[in-house]
Amino acid sequence: MTDVSLGMPQLPAPDFPAEVRARLQKDAEEVIARYPDSRSALLPLLHLVQSEEGHVSRTGIRFCAEVLDLTTAEVSAVATFYTMYRRKPSGDYQVGVCTNTLCAVMGGDAIFEALQEHLRVGNNETTEDGKVTLEHIECNAACDFAPVVMVNWEFFDNQTVESAKQLVDELRAGRSVEPTRGAPLCTYKETARILAGFPDPRPGAVEASGGAGPASLVGLRLAKGETAPAKVVPPRGETDPAGGDEQTSASEPQQSAGPATEDGER
C-alpha cells in the first residue's frame, strides 16, 4: 500500500510520536466518556486527530481505530464520507464558496471562478504558501446572506468577487479578518479542536457565536407574525375579483410582530 500524501510505502500506518500519542489519548478518553457507546465518539475523534495534523492521515485513522476498538476500514469509511474531514495536507484556511443554487445565481459561481484564477488553484487545492485551500461547498443554510463564503466554517456573507479576492489576500498576508457574524476566525487546526468538543479558550468567542443575522431575524418576524394573505391569489387563468394583479410580497410585513431579541425570542 502506498501513502498517497507522501508517495512512499507505509504498511501499517506509523503511530504518532509518543508525546503526541499520550496527549491525544488523554483527550480521546475525555471525548469517549461523553457517550454510552464508545464508537459514537468517532466523529469528534476524527476532528481531534485533524486538529493535530490539519487533516485525517492514516496515522490518525489508526489512532481512532485503536482507541475505539474499530477496524481502520470502518474508520476510513466514515472519514471519507464526510467532506469536513480532509484527507491530505491542506491550508491554514479552508475557503469554501457556496455554489448551490441560490448562492450560485447570486454570484457564487463567479466568485469561485475568480478565486481559482486569483489563487491559481483548482477545487480542493492549496496555495503554494500553504495558507488557503479553496473548495466548493454545499448550502450552509445561510441562503438569506447569499452569496456566502465560509472560512474555516465561519460566515462571510453577501460576498462579491472583489470582496472575496480581498478576503483571501488578507488571509495569505496574515492580516486579521472578521467574519460577518459568529465567533472570531481561527486556524483550521484550532477550529477542528473546537469541533471535537473542546471549549473555545478565546475570551468572548463563545458569546459571539450566538444570535442570528439581521436577514434571518426579518424572516423570523414574518414567520411569527404570519397571518392569512391580504389577497387570495386567483387560480391560473382567472382574474382577481378585487382587481389588480399584484400579489402580496413576502418581503412586506403585513403586521408588526414586535422586535425580536438577539436570539430570535420575543
Residue number, 13 or 139, with CB nearest to ligand FES: 139
Q: Is 98 a residue that touches ligand FES (CB under 6 A)?
A: yes
Read off the C-alpha cell for 116.
481559482
3-state secondary structure of 248: coil
The minimum distance between CB 238 and ligand FES, in angstroms, equals 35
* 139 is a contact residue toward ligand FES (CB under 6 A): yes
CB of 120 to ligand FES, least distance (A): 25
Three cell numbers written together for 166: 480581498
* Bond prior to 234 in cis (omega within 30° of 0): no
Q: Does 140 bind ligand FES (CB under 6 A)?
A: yes
| C-alpha angle 213-215-217 in degrees, rounded to nearest 5 | 70
> What whole-number distance in Å separates Cα of residue 152 and Cα of residue 171?
12
Contact map string, positions 45 to 84, toward ligand FES, x by CB under 6 A:
----------------------------------------
Beta strand 93-98 with 149-151: parallel, antiparallel or unpaired?
antiparallel
Helices (H) and strands (E) in the chain, counts: 10, 7
Q: Which is nearer to ligand FES, 22 or 250 (CB)?
A: 250
How many C-beta atoms lie closer than 10 Å to residue 208's C-beta?
15
From the list 231, 187, 177, 157, the residue with the least C-alpha distance to 54 is 187
Shortest Cβ distance from residue 92 to ligand FES (Å)?
Answer: 23
Q: Which of 102, 161, 212, 257 binds ligand FES (CB under 6 A)?
A: 102
100 binds ligand FES, rule: CB under 6 A = yes
CB of 100 to ligand FES, least distance (A): 4
| Three-state SS letters, 60-92 | HHHHHHHHHCCCHHHHHHHHCCCCCCCCCCCCC
For ligand FES, the binding residue among 31, 61, 142, 149 (CB under 6 A) is 142
Of the residues 31, 32, 79, 103, which one makes contact with ligand FES according to CB under 6 A: 103
Smallest distance from ligand FES to CB 137, Å: 8
Q: What cell was used for 177?
A: 479578518
Q: Cα(first)–Cα(last) distance of the chain, in Å? A: 59
> Counting contacts by CB under 6 A, is residue 161 touching ligand FES?
no
Q: Which is nearer to ligand FES, 16 or 112 (CB)?
A: 112
Among the residue ranges 57-65, 78-86, 141-149, 212-220, the one whose residues contact ligand FES (CB under 6 A): 141-149
Smallest separation (angstroms) from ligand FES to the CB of 138: 8
- Determine the interface stretch with ligand FES among 6-14, 49-57, 88-96, 134-142 (rule: CB under 6 A): 134-142
Longest dimension (CA), the chain: 80
Strand partners, 137: 98
Contacts with ligand FES, residue ranges (CB under 6 A): 98, 100, 102-103, 139-140, 142-143, 146, 148
